[in-house]
Amino acid sequence: MKISVLIKMVIVVIFAPLSVQANAEQTDAQRIYIRQAMLGDLENISEKVSGLVGAEGVLQKFDAKFVQNQHGIAVGQIEDSVTRAVMTVFLDYWRSAMLAPDKISALEDVLEQKLVNIVRTNIVTGQNFDPKNLLNVIATYIEGQGYGVLFGRTAPLLELMLWQKNDPHQYRVVLTDSTEAVDVVHIGGFVSRGWAYYATHGVSSTGGWATPKQLFCVCDSYDQQSEDFKVSYLKHEGRHFADYKKYPKLQSASLEYRAKLTELAFSQETLYGLLTRFTNHGVANAQGGHHLANWHVANDMKAALMLNNEGDRNPAWKDRSILEIQNAARHLLKQSDKKISDLGSKVAEHIIHPVSTEAQQSASASH
């Protein structure tokens, strides 16, 4: 059984927006590097950044991490040998998959076999072991060593996060169409913050994730009085929490589409920056839900706001007021609900559809 299938048996997670250092603070080479890293493809990074401002520094860091394997994760500080071995095989997988993305399926087969060997040798010796329970067995063992652990897929790569601190909180999250009472676990004391943090040298990381029962927050990534936390984390993840109940079969790209529209429906201070980020980080044919949803959100918002940006990746978002943009996002959410209702609430993907003429007319009525 493929490890990607095994992961769905452990937990289905939708990750919060990946926090990325502001583009204005990055050189051209850094922007290209971060984009490629987040797509899980660093195979020809030297050619892609060659000649760009900042290329020398980018390639020095790349060489240290991916050629010399100076991964920067304190594996030696993990006292338990089994947990240390699991972390090591994930690091090997991340490095190999980024350097040869076309071989990711075979590399995941190798990862699965290494994990099976770890379990058979160290955890269930002398016992019958069903590989279908592979990640459940490993997660239970690691939790018994005092760690929090998350397996999942932050597309395109398989994920491993390890941490040591859990601090539960409760929040009341107001959405466009409901109010959700949610339990949020603030987590910290990280050994591993996942493959994005590893690949981008700490520039990008997962801010948290939602499960059907509770939310998890990497809270040292946020100022908890900011819109980044109150909107881009709480309302984004709150939308996932609500959609898990309302649309239990909905998959990553559609879930992300709806959560990102929810951010736009409530943001003020960060609104134009969010639109620019969604536009810059959208990929029409992406495997990952975030990049695909970014592309559809940006294009549907352009159409709803009647912004023509032929030949210009970023339209003039500031030609529209905050209220106009918020109203457009709310209308697209209502369209999304109608589309899912028409297809049936158990649909897996409703996506992400071109905005209708009706939506354009409705959103532009307030201009």
Q: What is the pLDDT of residues 184-205, one digit of tens each?
A: 999 999 999 999 999 999 888 8
Question: pLDDT band for position 268 (50/70/90)?
Answer: very high
| Mean pLDDT score, 149-156 | 88
Asked whether the predicted pLDDT for residue 63 surpasses 60, the reply is yes
At residue 350, the pLDDT reads 60
Question: pLDDT band for position 297 (50/70/90)?
Answer: very high
Most confident of 56-65, 146-155, 346-355: 56-65
**Which residue, among 127, 125, 117, 104, has the nearest Cα to 40 in the 3D structure?**
104
If one counts every other C-beta atom within 10 angstroms of the C-beta of residue 358, the result is 10
Do 28 and 53 touch, CB atoms closer than 8 A? yes
Q: At what angle do helices 3-10 and 134-144 cross, to 10 degrees?
A: 50
At residue 221, the pLDDT reads 79
Do 195 and 159 touch, CB atoms closer than 8 A? yes
Q: What is the pLDDT of residues 74-94, one digit of tens each?
A: 898 899 999 999 999 999 999
At residue 132, the pLDDT reads 85
At residue 311, the pLDDT reads 47
Give the integer Cα–Cα distance in Å for 194 and 154: 9
At residue 20, the pLDDT reads 52
Question: pLDDT band for position 13 (50/70/90)?
Answer: very low
User: Lowest-pLDDT range, 29-33, 50-54, 110-114, 251-255?
Assistant: 251-255
Asked whether the predicted pLDDT for residue 207 surpasses 90, the reply is no
Question: In angstroms, how far is the first alpha carbon of the chain from the final one?
Answer: 54
Asked whether the predicted pLDDT for residue 314 surpasses 80, the reply is no
| Mean pLDDT score, 209-228 | 88
Asked whether the predicted pLDDT for residue 255 surpasses 80, the reply is yes
At residue 128, the pLDDT reads 79
If one compares 1 and 286, the residue with the highest pLDDT of the two is 286
Asked whether the predicted pLDDT for residue 348 surpasses 70, the reply is no
Do 134 and 116 touch, CB atoms closer than 8 A? yes
Tokens of residue 334, six digits: 């209502």
Question: pLDDT band for position 333 (50/70/90)?
Answer: very high
3-class SS of residue 352: coil
Percentage above 90 pLDDT, the chain: 62
